Each structure stands twice: as C-alpha cells, then as structure tokens.
C-alpha cells in the first residue's frame, strides 16, 4: 500500500474541487479584502494615523491576509468533508485500504492548499494598497502554514460531528468570525485596558495574527516564540483529537 499515492490523490482531488468552483472559493476573499482596504485603510485609516509605527494600511494587511487564510482553510475542509458524508462518497475512502491518518492528512493539506492560495491572492490585492516588505520570511511561512493546518483540522472535527448543513455554519459564524475580529486584525491590544488586554490573550487567533504580523512587519504584541509554540501545540493536539474521533468512527461509521 503506497500511502504517498493515496495522500496525493486526496490533495489533488481537493485542489481540483476548489479550483473548479473558484467563483465561490477564490474570488470572494479578494473582493472582501479590497473592500476592507478601501473602507478601513483608505477612508478611515488616515483619521486613525499610525499604529505601532506603521500606516493603518500596513498595520491591517497581515491581519487581513491571516483572516482570509483562517476562514478559507476552515470552510474548505468543513464543507468538503461534510459534503462527502452527505453524498456518502466518504465511503469511497472508508472501504479502501488507506489508513485514517491519510484521510485526515489529505483533507487537512487540501484545506492548507486553499488557505495558502487565498493568502497569496489576498496579498496580491494588498499590493494595490500598500507596499510589502517581508521582514522574516521563514517565520511568515511557518505561521501561515501552521495556522492553515490548525483551522483545516478544526473544520474536519466540525464536519465529523455535523449532522446538517446548519451545523457546519454555526462555528464559523458564532465562534470563528468574532474571535478573528477580536484577534487584533484591526487594532493593537496595547490600545485596550489592562483587563481587556488580558482577556484578549486568551484568544488563540491573536497569537496567529500577531505572529504573522511579526513575520511581515517585524512588530508584534506577542512574543513570537510563544506564538509559534502555542500554534504548534494546538496543531498536534487537534490532529490527535481528530484522528481519535475517526478511529472511533464518530460521524462516519454506524
């Protein structure tokens, strides 16, 4: 059994899937990001002035990229895997000899592929509004890859438990979006009172946005080693939980 072939098969299938429906998957984040730059960056930004020593456009750019990566990684896996359950074509994989960890890894890397592709496209859009100079390329790549992986895994777990299409929109709407908006995309937590700054530190997305911002701008509200360490631990833990759920047949075997 060649697991490399099975893994590649799932990844290629996932990439073809989201590429085929690019109007739903790749174009909307570019449009939304353009609007953020026009409204927040160009119209409201000049009134705000500098933040952490950068223009407002420069400051929000890493957060906007990260926001697109997070939502797209998550939604790619949650919708693709749940659709496979709904149409029962998940059975194609379950009857095959491929181990569960390959199925999990395949969907996760499919989500990472979409997250990264959207990240690149949104960055291209951002170049129309701000200059880009990446201060720490490897940190930038590490943070964006791990974050895409984490939210792909989150989408996978959501899809395992989901019993209807409503169930796959609850977490993105009521958990992911608020945490992202409160994760320091549009502001520095130094602007907050001590109490709210402490509350913000419990938001994992803050570490990802700031870690990514450090990679691009060289400035962050959070210690970069802490950010990478935390994301890494969360990726490992989430992978472990997702695999355990699969082995127990949760949501996939009766």
Interacting residue ranges for another protein, rule: CB under 8 A? 1-3, 5-6, 8-10, 13, 16, 20, 83-84, 87-89, 91-99, 249, 253-254
Nearer to another protein, 3 or 34 (CB): 3
Nearer to another protein, 133 or 253 (CB): 253
CB of 5 to another protein, least distance (A): 5
CB of 96 to another protein, least distance (A): 4
Cα(75)–Cα(68) distance, rounded to whole angstroms?
A: 10
CB of 102 to another protein, least distance (A): 9
CB of 109 to another protein, least distance (A): 15
The H or E element containing residue 33 is: helix 27-36
Nearer to another protein, 26 or 30 (CB): 26
Nearer to another protein, 89 or 198 (CB): 89
Nearer to another protein, 93 or 117 (CB): 93
| Residue 223, CA distances (Å) to 69, 186, 189, 202, 238 in order | 21, 19, 13, 14, 23
Q: Label residues 220-241 b or e (16+ Cβ within 10 Å = b).
A: bbbebeebbebbeebbeebbee
CB of 157 to another protein, least distance (A): 20
Cα(69)–Cα(26) distance, rounded to whole angstroms?
A: 11
Paired strand residues for 51: 54
Helix axes 100-126, 56-86, angle to 10 degrees: 150
């Amino acid at each position: 059994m060649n697991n490399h072939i099975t893994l590649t098969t799932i990844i290629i299938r996932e990439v073809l899937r989201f590429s085929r429906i690019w109007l739903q998957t790749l174009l909307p984040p570019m449009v939304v990001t353009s609007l953020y730059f026009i409204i927040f960056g160009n119209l409201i930004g000049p009134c705000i002035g500098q933040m952490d020593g950068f223009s407002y456009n420069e400051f929000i750019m890493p957060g906007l990229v990260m926001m697109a990566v997070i939502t797209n990684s998550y939604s790619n896996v949650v919708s693709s895997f749940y659709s496979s359950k709904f149409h029962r074509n998940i059975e194609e994989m379950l009857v095959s000899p491929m181990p569960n960890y390959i199925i999990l890894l395949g969907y996760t890397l499919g989500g990472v592929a979409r997250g990264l592709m959207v990240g690149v496209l949104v960055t291209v859009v951002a170049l129309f509004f701000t200059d880009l100079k990446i201060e720490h390329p490897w940190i930038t790549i590490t943070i964006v890859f791990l974050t895409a992986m984490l939210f792909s895994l989150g989408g996978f777990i959501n899809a395992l438990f989901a019993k209807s299409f409503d169930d796959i929109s609850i977490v993105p709407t009521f958990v992911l979006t608020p945490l992202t908006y409160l994760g320091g995309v549009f502001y520095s937590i130094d602007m907050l009172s001590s109490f709210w700054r402490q509350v913000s530190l419990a938001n994992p997305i803050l570490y990802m946005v700031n870690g990514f911002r450090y990679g691009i701008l060289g400035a962050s509200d959070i210690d970069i080693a802490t950010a990478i360490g935390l994301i890494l631990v969360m990726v490992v833990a989430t992978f472990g939980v997702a695999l355990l759920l699969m082995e127990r047949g949760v949501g996939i075997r009766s």
